[in-house]
Amino acid sequence: MTQQGVQALRSEATFDGFYAAQLDWARRLTFVLCGDSRFVDDLVHDAFLRLQPRFAEIDNPRAYLRVTLVNAVRRHHRRESRRQEAQEQAAIPTPDSANEYDELLEGIDRLPYRQRAVLVLRYFEDLSEAEIADVLECRPGTVKSLASRALARLREET
């Protein structure tokens, strides 16, 4: 292992080092899941806050943080869904210039949350079905069917 690699590992052994190393990844994952940049920093901050007291006793803090973020976005999604007004405010701002991915992303945002989470974990995080099942606390077969339904719906829409 290189000197820098060793230093990076050492720095991640502390919570501050882990925070510094994983913040960008956590924000990107949260944004892809949530779709609204206004809530990203709060959701990420709260996830780190939940992790911090348990940091020393967790073997894989990144995996723990991933689960925390997925659950935090799900709670956020539920809360926003309940409040129609807030939901309208939380709609993804339309960019000035249309992009080839906008239609597809809008379709993904309309998917039920678990289907959307499966797509994000599979195609953004590159997790296996078993790993996704661990994050979502379901069986691998459920992951497969959620992904299949999500892809079918997107195919219909596009």
Binding site for another protein (CB under 8 A): 15-16, 19-20, 23, 27-29, 31-32, 35, 37, 39-43, 45-46, 48-49, 52-53, 56-57, 76, 79, 95, 99, 101, 104-105, 108, 119-120, 123-124, 151, 154-155, 158
Question: Of all helices (H) and strands (E), which one includes residue 47?
Answer: helix 37-51
Minimum Å gap between C-beta 5 and another protein is: 23
Minimum Å gap between C-beta 124 and another protein is: 4
C-beta of residue 61 within 8 angstroms of C-beta of residue 157: no
The first and second tokens of residue 27, run together, are 């924000």
The region that residue 35 occupies, defined by phi over 0 for left and psi between -120 and 50 for alpha, beta otherwise, is: left
C-beta of residue 87 within 8 angstroms of C-beta of residue 80: yes
- The conformation of residue 55, written as its DSSP 8-state character, comes to G
Nearer to another protein, 4 or 155 (CB): 155
Minimum Å gap between C-beta 112 and another protein is: 16
Nearer to another protein, 9 or 105 (CB): 105
